[in-house]
A and B are shown apart, each in its own frame.
Chain A
C-alpha cells in the first residue's frame, strides 16, 4: 500500500505536468470551438440586421414625393371639345356608351400637354426662357391625364382656373432629392439645364414641395409615369388571394388534419396520404406554379393573371403547412380530456368537435397566420400564371387581372429608371415586410392571449 502510494506520489508531478500541458491545449480548443459557435450566431444575426438596414436605408427616401402645385386654366382656345353626350338623346344604353366613349376619345386626342405647358409657364418667373420639350419634363407625364379626367368628370370647368396637386416627374424628383450627382455635366443629366434651374426656382417659391408619398399607397402601377406608380393594385390583388387562401385552406386543412389524426383507419390509403402531405410540404413552390399554369389556366380555362388562380395555387401550397401544424396540435391535447368526454357518453365525433378541437384553436390560428404570411411573400408560382403582366387597375373581383405585392417588387426592380425605382422597390419591400411583421406579431399576441385563457 505505502509503496504504491509513494510511487504514485513520485509519478504525480510528471503526470500532472503532462495533463496540465494537455489541458491548456484542450481548453484552448474549447475556447476556439465556443468562439466559432458564437461567431456563427453573430454572423447569422448580422445578416438579419444588415438586410433590414440595407432595405430601410434604400427605401426611406422613396416615401417622400415631390408635389407640383399648379393653377390650371381650362382655356377654350386649347380645349376645343363638343358638349358631352346626354343619355336622353340615345335609344339604347349601348349607343349612349359608344357616343360617350367617342367623346372621351376626341378629348384624349386633344393636346393636353399644351394646357400643362401654359400652366407651367404661368407659374415660372416672368421672362424665364425654356423650350416646351424641357418644360414638360418637370411635370409627371400623367399630369395631363389627371387634368383631362377632371374635365371629363366635369365639362363645365371650361374657361375656369382650378388648383391642381400634381406630381413632379421622376427625374425632377431625383434631382430634388439629390439621387443624381448635381455636379455631372449636361450630357449625363436627364434634365436640361434650364429645366433644372426652373425646378430649383419652383422648390424655392413653393410650387414644388416635398411631402409624404401617399401616391405609393393610393395609386396603381404606372409605366409611363414612374413618379405616380403605387402599390394599391398589387395590394388589393394580394388581399384577394389571401382571402381565397384563408377561406379554402383553413377549413380543408383543419378537416384533413382532424380526419388523419382522429378518424383515419390505419390503412394503405391513409399512409399514402400522409407521405403525400409530407412531400408536398417540400415541393419547390415553382412546381405549384406549373400546376396552376397547366391545370387551372390551360385545362380549366380560368382567367390568366387573375387572383383566383393565384389564390388556388397558394392554397394548395399552404395546405400541408396547416395540416401538419393542426395535427401536431391535436396530438398535444391531453388524453384526459378525450377520456372524460368519451366517459360522459359523447360520440367520437362529438368528442373531437366539441372538446378537442376548441382546445387546439390557438395553435391552428397561429399556424394559419404563419402560413398566410408565407403565402403572402411567394413570388415564383405567380410569375408562371401570368401575374407578372403589367396591370394598371385595381382588381374589383378575383376574376380581374391583377398583380401581387411580391410580383410588383419583381417588376419594379427590373425597371430601367434605376435611380428612381431602386428606392421605390425598397419601399415596396418595406411595405411587404411590414405586413408580414404585423401578421407575425398578431399571431404571437393571439397565441399568448388565447393560451393564457385556456
Chain B
C-alpha cells in the first residue's frame, strides 16, 4: 500500500516535471522564434532529473534509516521497568505485539493499557512520519522542479547536462563488474580469514586428512586437510581432459577442414547443444546411466569399478566439455592464415599432413590456451561431481574409487542454513578462495596466451 503510494507519487512527479520542461521549451520557441540550444525532450528530461533526484534521496534515506527510527520509538514507548526485565527475544515479541495493535490486526490475550497506548501512539507516529516523508519528498521535488524550470532559457545547454547524467549512469553500470569482483574477493578473504583463526593455514593447505567434525566444539573441530580434495579435483579434471581434448580437437579439425558445408551447418549447432545442457542433467545421466554402465563394463573385464567414482564423473565431465574445446579450437584453427596451408598444399602435402605438420604447430599456443580454459572450467564444475563422484574425501590414486573435490566439499559444508560461526561452514570460503585463485590464474594465463596468439596473426 505504502509502496504503491510512493511509486504513484514518483510517477506523477516524473510526468509533471517532464511535461513542465517540455512545454516551457515549446513556449520559448513559439513566443520569440529564437533558436533554442536543445530540443524540448531534453528540457523535459532536464527538469525531470532535477525534480526526481531530491525526492529519491529523501525516500532513500527514509528507507535506510526509517526502520531503525520506528523501532527506537516503539522501544521508548515500553515502560522503563518492563524494558529492563526483557531479554532480546522478549523485546522482539513485545515490539511485534505493539506493531500488531498499531496495524489494527489486534493481538490475542489480555491487552495491557500501556500496550494499547503504545499501539495507538505508534500508529499515529507511523502515519505522521509517512505523511512527513511524502510531503518532504514532494516539496523538495517541487522546489527543484521550479528551480530547474526557471533555469530554462534558449541558451541553456540542457542536452549536455542530460547527457552528462546519462554518462555517469552508464559508468555506474559498468562499475557493477568491478563491484562484483570486489565483493567476491572481499567476502572470500574475510570469511576465509575467520576460518584461519580456527585452523592453522598450514594444516589446511598441507593436511592429508579431511574429516570435519560437523557437530564439533572448540578444540574438537576435526581435520580440514585440502590435499585429498585437491587430488580428487585434479584426478577428475585429468580424466575429463583425456576424454574431451582428443574428441573435441578432432571434431574441430574435421568440422573446419574436412566436413562438407551441409554437415558443418548441422553438426556444429548439434554439438553446441551439449554446451547448453544444465550440468545437473549431466550429473543425473552420470549417476543413473554412465556409472552403472562403467561398473558392469569393468566387471566384464575383471576390473572393480565403483558406480560413483572419479572415472564416472571424469568421463561425463569430459563429455560436457567437448563442445567447449571444439568451438574454441575451431575459432583458433580458422585464424591460422590461409597462406600457411596453401604453401603446404603447394609442396604436395596431403590434407592430414598439412594439418598435423603446419596447422597444428601454428595453432598450438591458441590450443593450449583453450585447453587451460577447459581445465579451469572442469575444476570449477560442481553438480556432476556432487552427484557422480561418490563423495569420499580420502587421499588415494585409484580412479575407480569414489573421490571428493573442492566444489563438492563447499556444497556439503555450506548448506545455507548454518550461521558462519564455526570452521565447519567457514571452510567453504577457504575452499572457495583456493578455487577462485586456481581458476583465476588459469584464466589469466589462458587469456594472455590466446590474445598473444591472435595478435601474432593479425
Contact = CB atoms under 8 A, between A and B. Distances in A.
Interface of A: 26-27, 29-30, 32-34, 36-41, 43-45, 47-48, 51, 54-55, 58, 91-95, 98, 251-253, 255-256, 258-260, 263-264, 270, 272-273, 276-280, 282-288, 290-291, 293-295, 297-299, 304-305, 316, 319-320, 323, 347, 349, 370, 373-374, 376-380, 383-389, 406, 409-410, 413, 422, 425-426, 429, 432-433, 436, 440
Interface stretch (B49-57, B213-221, B376-384): B376-384
29 contacts: A37-B250, A43-B251, A47-B319, A58-B288, A92-B105, A94-B106, A255-B173, A258-B170, A259-B171, A260-B174, A273-B175, A279-B444, A282-B373, A282-B376, A285-B380, A286-B380, A287-B439, A295-B183, A295-B187, A319-B176, A370-B276, A378-B278, A379-B382, A386-B417, A413-B283, A413-B288, A422-B288, A432-B278, A433-B277
Counting chain B CB atoms within 10 Å of each CB, which of A273, A284, A429 scores highest?
Answer: A284
B229 interface: no
B416 A304 contact: yes
Given A284-B439, A422-B288, A37 B253 contact: yes
A184 B422 CA distance: 49
Contacts of B420: 294, 298
B114 interface: no
Contacts of B304: none
A409 B280 contact: yes
B173 A259 contact: yes
B100 A38 contact: no
Secondary structure call for the B interface? helix
A377 B444 contact: no
B147 to A, nearest CB: 24
Given A258-B170, A290-B428, A377-B276, 8 more contacts: A38-B254, A255-B173, A256-B177, A287-B439, A290-B432, A293-B416, A410-B387, A422-B288
B251 to A, nearest CB: 4
A44 B173 contact: no
A259 B170 contact: yes
Nearest to B249: A40
Given A264-B174, A319-B177, A48 B270 contact: yes
A260 B323 CA distance: 29
Nearest to B176: A252
A379 B173 CA distance: 26
B436 interface: yes
A239 B340 CA distance: 51
Contacts of B350: 26-27, 29-30
Interface string B171-203: 101111110110110011011000000000000
Interface residues of B, number: 96
B435 interface: yes
A29 B352 contact: yes
Contacts of A33: 351-352, 355-356
B116 to A, nearest CB: 11
Contacts of A320: 177
A253 B173 CA distance: 7
B173 A30 contact: no
Nearest to B432: A290
Contacts of A279: 181, 440, 443-444, 447
Contacts of B319: 47
B444 A284 contact: no
B404 interface: no
Contacts of B288: 54, 58, 413, 422
B274 interface: yes
Contact of B178 (A36, A276, A285, A406): A276
Contact of A433 (B251, B281, B407, B410): B281
Contact of A30 (B289, B351, B387): B351
A409 B279 CA distance: 11
A151 B430 CA distance: 54
A347 B160 CA distance: 9
Given A47-B319, A273-B174, A298-B420, A380 B407 contact: yes
A246 to B, nearest CB: 15
B143 interface: no
A256 B173 contact: yes
B98 interface: no
Contacts of A253: 173
A378 B170 CA distance: 28
A283 B282 CA distance: 20
Contacts of B259: 41
B458 to A, nearest CB: 15
A298 B326 CA distance: 40
B254 to A, nearest CB: 3
A312 to B, nearest CB: 11
B166 A51 contact: no
B331 interface: no
B281 A432 contact: yes
